[in-house]
Amino acid sequence: MPRQPQPGRQHRSVTLSDDNWEPGELIAEAMGTTRSQLVEALWAYFMRRPGAELPERPPQELIDRADAAWEERKARIRARALTLPCPSCKVESGPCLAGKAKRPTNTMIHRPRLIKAGAEIAEEERAAETDSDA
């Protein structure tokens, strides 16, 4: 369960690309901060708040490592998603079907399958972490 925000703060919903947001978690953690703190700092700077400064940019090596980890994770999520039934186009496994004519595709996977696959993998990682902590 996510922590409750402090008074005067609340969870916001913004749309960001997976390819920037997901590897950013590892980068932020390595730099001793969080994605939320970085967004807060950037927004304060954008709003010209007194004392607001741009956050330090990560070294390219860290970005490359985080991007590579995200690419590997994306591939695992896609591979898992292809084994799940799709609630959108009703395919049982394999690539999704596209359009009203439900034409086969080579690579498309509807977002609900990707979300479910990502959640399954994250849950397995949490379980493995708990096991190794014991």
> Site residues (CB under 5 A) for Zn ion?
86, 88-89, 96, 110
Nearest distance in Å: CB 79, Zn ion: 15
Closer CB to Zn ion, 35 or 110, in the complex: 110
Q: Is the dihedral of CA 83, 70, 9, 42 positive or negative?
A: negative
**Shortest reach from residue 47's CB to Zn ion, in Å:** 41
When the beta carbons of 36 and 93 are compared against Zn ion, the nearer one is 93
Task: Give the DSSP per-residue string, 26-79.
Answer: HHHHHTT--HHHHHHHHHHHHTT-TT--PPPPPPHHHHHHHHHHHHHHHHHHHH
Cβ-based nearer residue to Zn ion, 77 or 89 = 89
Contact 113, 96 (CB under 8 A): yes
Q: How far is the CB of 21 from Zn ion (least distance, A)?
A: 23
